Amino acid sequence: MRIDVLSIFPELFEAPLQVSLLGKAIEQGILTVSVTDPREFTSDRHRTVDDAPFGGGAGMVMKCEPLFAAVESLSDRNSLRRVILLSPRGQPLTQRVVRELAAEPDLVLICGRYEGVDERVSQALCTDEISVGDYVLSGGELPALIVIEAVSRMLPGVIGDWESVETDSFYDGILGPPQYTRPPVFRDLAAPQVLRDGNHAAIRRWRRKEALRITRERRPDLLGACGEDDRALLKEIEQEEAGPEKEVES
């Protein structure tokens, strides 16, 4: 997969793209990430990429000419099928969106700065706007790295054991289960016995049930699409939390 990034601060990508799984994916040729500076496509000696907004107001707005020219320069190596502006106005980045993007052969990520980007970039250049949360950052570089990291995990060969991806939060719509490792008891806190008994069917059931329990407590909005088996486990959880007396009454 190829990801082209447009940023006026390309140095922000240097270290993150060299370490851990991202670094290995790039080294192995599974993922290619290239950063282009829109300043290279300006025509004035100051390499200006921003200007005052029409109508007045605080701050500056990124100009459309350098961004259009920078994206169009990628056409010899990128299909430009998905040109994405990282923006707080965009659709939320969810695991469903991540999996959709990971199925593409290439992406273009545009990192805004200042008070935003000329609206014509969104109207005529971009196919998508994506937000990484309901908050505002100084630029789109960190959101772009989040997109790259999340998408890379979906590429075959990046994660050594695919089961670790399948148990991630949101992979199948709910939060992930609790995880434990040695020692079995730490400061009077014990890891669940079921995880230490070696019964893989019981472990799978426990993990799914606890994942549903955590999702019910923290993100009940994610439970709408649960299947019949999950609904049965949720019923067990409700009965356990109600206590023996209320369980008998029901």
pLDDT in tens, 222-247: 998 899 999 999 999 999 999 876 55
Task: Give the distance, in angstroms, between the CA of residue 224 and the centroid of all CA atoms in the same chain.
Answer: 21
Give me the residue spans of the domains in the chain: 2-152, 185-249
What value does the CA radius of gyration of the chain take, rounded to a whole number of Å? 23
pLDDT at 172: 79
189-190 and 185-186: which strand pairing?
antiparallel
Q: Which of 82, 113, 153, 207 is catalytic?
A: 153
Query: Which neighbouring-strand residues pair with 106?
Result: 2
> Can you say whether the dihedral through the CA atoms of 82, 68, 143, 23 is positive or negative?
positive
For residues 26 and 17, the answer to whether their CB atoms sit within 8 Å is yes
Within this chain, domains 2-152 and 185-249 share the same CATH topology: no
Dump pLDDT digits (tens) for 189-225: 999 999 999 999 999 999 999 999 999 999 999 998 8
In 72-126, beta strands by DSSP E: 83-92, 106-111
The lowest-confidence range among 51-60, 164-173, 198-207 is 164-173
For the ranges 15-19, 55-59, 71-75, 121-125, the lowest mean pLDDT is seen at 55-59
Catalytic residue among 51, 100, 104, 115: 115
| DSSP code of residue 51 | E
The pTM of this model reads: 0.88
pLDDT over 70 percentage in the chain: 94
Q: Which residue has the higher pLDDT, 71 or 165?
A: 71
| CATH class assigned to 2-152 | alpha beta
Q: Which CATH architecture is the domain 185-249 placed in?
A: Orthogonal Bundle (1.10)
pLDDT at 119 over 60: yes
Question: Helix H segments across 38-188?
Answer: 64-72, 95-102, 119-124, 141-152, 162-166
Q: How confident is the model at residue 163 (pLDDT cuts 50, 70, 90)?
A: low
Annotated catalytic residue within 10, 16, 53, 88: 88
Q: What is the reported pLDDT for 248?
A: 46
Note if 153 is an active site residue. yes
Which is catalytic among the residues 51, 104, 149, 168? 168
- What gap in Å lies between CA 76 and CA 134, rounded to an integer? 35
